[in-house]
Amino acid sequence: MRLSVIIPAYNCAGLIPATLESLKAQTLKDFEVLILNDGSTDSTLSVLKAYARTDPRFQIFNLPNGGPSRARNRGIELARGDYLYFMDADDLIHPEMLETLLSRAEREDLDVICCGYQMENTASNPPHCKEFRFDAFAAYSAEEFRARLTPLIQAHLMYVVWNKLYRARLIREKGIRFPEEYKSGEDRLFNTAVFPEIQRFRMVDAPYYRYFLRGQSTLANRYIENRFESVLACHDALTQAYQKMVLFDHESQAAISFAFIKGVLSCFTQLHAKGCPLRRKEKRALIGEILAHPAVQEALGREDPAFGYAKTVNRVLRTGNQTLILLMSKMIFLLQFKLNRLYLSLKHRVKRQG
- pLDDT tens-digit map of 112-161: 999 999 998 776 656 678 899 999 999 999 999 999 999 999 899 999 99
Count CB neighbours of 128 within 10 A. 13
For the chain, the distance separating the N- and C-terminal CA atoms, rounded to the nearest angstrom, is 34
pLDDT at 305: 60
pLDDT one-digit tens code per residue, 96-106: 999 999 999 99
Ranges of each domain in the chain: 3-213, 219-348
What lies within 8 Å, CB to CB, of 227 at 6+ separation is 183, 184, 266, 267, 270
E strand or H helix at 204, and its extent?
A: strand 201-213
- Please report the pLDDT score of residue 129 as a whole number: 85
Which uninterrupted H or E stretch holds 201? strand 201-213
Q: What backbone torsions phi and psi does residue 6 show, to the nearest 5 degrees?
A: -115, 125
Closest CA to 302 of 244, 235, 219, 203: 235
> In this structure, what DSSP letter does residue 238 have?
H
pLDDT tens for the chain, residues 1 to 354: 899 999 999 999 999 999 999 999 999 999 999 999 999 999 999 999 999 999 999 999 999 999 999 999 999 999 999 999 999 999 999 999 999 999 999 999 999 999 999 998 776 656 678 899 999 999 999 999 999 999 999 899 999 999 999 999 999 999 999 999 998 899 999 999 999 999 999 999 999 999 998 754 455 567 898 899 999 999 999 999 999 999 988 888 888 998 899 899 999 999 998 889 999 999 999 999 999 999 999 999 887 665 556 678 888 999 999 999 999 999 888 877 655 554 555 555 544 443
Amino acid found at 292: A
Regarding the domain delimited by 3-213, which CATH topology (the fold level of the hierarchy) does it fall under?
Spore Coat Polysaccharide Biosynthesis Protein SpsA; Chain A (3.90.550)
User: Cβ(86)–Cβ(178) under 8 Å?
Assistant: no
From the list 237, 92, 107, 91, the residue with the least C-alpha distance to 178 is 237
Q: What is the CA radius of gyration of the chain?
A: 20
- Give the distance, in angstroms, between the CA of residue 152 and the centroid of all CA atoms in the same chain: 13
pLDDT of residue 345: 54
Distance CA 117, CA 114 (A): 10
The helix or strand, by DSSP H or E, that contains position 236, with its residue range, turns out to be: helix 227-244
172 dihedral zone (left: phi>0; alpha: psi -120 to 50; beta): alpha
Residue type present at position 4? S
User: Using an 8 Å Cβ cutoff, are 5 and 40 in contact?
Assistant: no
